[in-house]
Amino acid sequence: MRVAISTDGDMVAPHFGRCEAYTIVDIEDGESKEATRIPNPGHEPGVLPGYLAERGVNCIVAGGMGPRAEMLFGEKNIQILVGVSGTIADTIESLRLGALRGGESTCEH
């Protein structure tokens, strides 16, 4: 699984589209591969699902996103996990352990 985590500093960003970057990490057989950061190309409707799909992402983790974005990610077969907060390191560890749980989206769309 290749995961993109919306990132502000060392924290999960509250809004996937307005974050400064995405932390990309591969999780395979309970192991996480080296995480890399890619810049957010900007918050334009419909751009981010294609941008992340082109990089092999099949899951996005964020504090929140609006319903239109959820639909667009679904069209690209990218799983969404919102309602996540905390550090990027803790989020990656929870992903590795299969213990990351989402909740209510922090977006107010």
Block mean pLDDT (10 aa), the chain, length 109: 97 94 96 94 86 96 92 94 97 95 76
Q: Is residue 106 in a domain?
A: no
Q: What is the pLDDT of residue 43?
A: 77
Torsion of CA 62, 66, 49, 15, to 10 degrees: -30
Q: Is residue 40 in a domain?
A: no
Q: Is residue 20 in a domain?
A: yes
Instruction: Give me the number of domains the chain comprises.
Output: 1
Q: What is the pLDDT of residue 45?
A: 76
Q: What is the pLDDT of residue 108?
A: 62
Is residue 21 within 8 A of residue 37, CB to CB? The reply is yes
Q: What is the pLDDT of residue 106?
A: 73
Q: Is residue 17 in a domain?
A: yes
Q: Is residue 38 in a domain?
A: no
Q: What is the pLDDT of residue 105?
A: 80
Domain of residue 66, residue span: 2-32+47-97
Q: What is the pLDDT of residue 72?
A: 92
CATH number at residue 56: 3.30.420.130
Q: Is residue 22 in a domain?
A: yes
